[in-house]
Amino acid sequence: MKGPKAVVGVFTYIDDTLKAISIAKAGGHDYRVYSPVPHHELEEATLPGKSPVRFLTGFGAVLGCSGGFALAIWTSLDYPLRVSAKDIVSIPGFFVIGYECTILFGGIFTLLALLHFCRLPYILRSVGYDPRFSQDKFGVVIGCQSNAVEEVAEKLRESGADEIQVREAL
């Protein structure tokens, strides 16, 4: 978080939280929003656009599909034993392996993307996090210079914050 101080606004209402986000954006501040649930209005206000997770999912699926077919084809050619008069390379039969591997690797890469983009596991203490933010409160944390703390705190209070905290930004 940019700036030595983090001003934390604790909110009960989502509309107040949205006001605080617009204040943070208007002031050009570095900010972070915590919420107990995902909400489309919060997403639109903070990070509109699509998540890059989909690229890794797609990559994993293509890799799995080609890898599944490749494994079945290569091993059949490596040990060519004709079974029940079927072709050595029996594409219809190998479709199942390709299909399952598409989903398996698509899923594994989605998991890796999730861990990467959500920065999990996150062992450091997150700046401005308050246990209430997972329960029933919304939080807007704004990074600022020491001399701007009062001004930011006042704006958060005006937007409807129940409580203001000032913390050291890491």
Partner 1 sequence: MSHHNHSPHHEHHGDSPCHKGGPEGDSQFHYRGGIVPTEAKPLTYEEVNKTVLAMLEPPTYRWWLFLGLCLVAVAIGGVSWTRQILNGMTEAGKSHPDMWGGYITTFVFWVGIAHSGTLISAVLYLFRAHFRMPIYRLAEAMTVFAVLTAGLFPLIHLGRVWYFYWLMPYPNERAIWPNFRSPLLWDVFAVSTYLTISSTFFIIGLIPDIAVARDAARTKFRRLLYGITSLGWTGSHSQWKHYTAAYLFFAALATPLVVSVHSVVSWDFAMSIVPGWHATIFPPYFVAGAIFSGIAMVITIMIPLRRIFGLERILEPKHFDAMSKLILLTSGILTYSYGVEFYTAWFSNNEFERAQFWFRPFGEVGAAFWGMTFCNCIFPQLLWIKTLRTNIPFLFCVTILINIGMWLERFNIIVQSLSHEYIPYSWGWYNFSWVDVGIVIGSFGWFGMWMTLFVKFFPAVAITEIKEILPAPRRTADAHH
The residue within the footprint of partner 1, chosen from 24, 65, 76, 142 (CB under 8 A), is 76
Distance CA(130)–CA(117), nearest Å, equals 21
Is-cis flag, bond preceding 121, omega within 30? Answer: yes
The minimum distance between CB 25 and partner 1, in angstroms, equals: 12
Please report which helix (H) or strand (E) contains residue 130, including its range.
none
The radius of gyration computed from the CA coordinates of the chain, to the nearest angstrom, equals 25
The residue among 122 and 154 lying less far from partner 1, judged by its C-beta, is 122
Q: Does 91 bind partner 1 (CB under 8 A)?
A: no
The residue within the footprint of partner 1, chosen from 36, 150, 151, 154 (CB under 8 A), is 36
The residue within the footprint of partner 1, chosen from 2, 22, 25, 96 (CB under 8 A), is 96
The minimum distance between CB 58 and partner 1, in angstroms, equals: 9
- CB 17, CB 161: distance < 8 Å: no
Q: Does 106 bind partner 1 (CB under 8 A)?
A: yes
Q: Does 28 bind partner 1 (CB under 8 A)?
A: no
The residue among 28 and 37 lying less far from partner 1, judged by its C-beta, is 37
List C-alpha distances in Å: 148 to 22, 31, 57, 74, 160: 17, 14, 42, 65, 19
Q: Does 29 bind partner 1 (CB under 8 A)?
A: no
The HSE-up count of residue 39 (CA atoms within 13 Å, CB side) is 14
The residue within the footprint of partner 1, chosen from 30, 59, 126, 148 (CB under 8 A), is 126
Q: Does 25 bind partner 1 (CB under 8 A)?
A: no
- Following DSSP, what letter does each residue of 3-18 receive, concatenated? SSEEEEEEES-HHHHH
Q: Does 108 bind partner 1 (CB under 8 A)?
A: yes
The minimum distance between CB 14 and partner 1, in angstroms, equals: 4
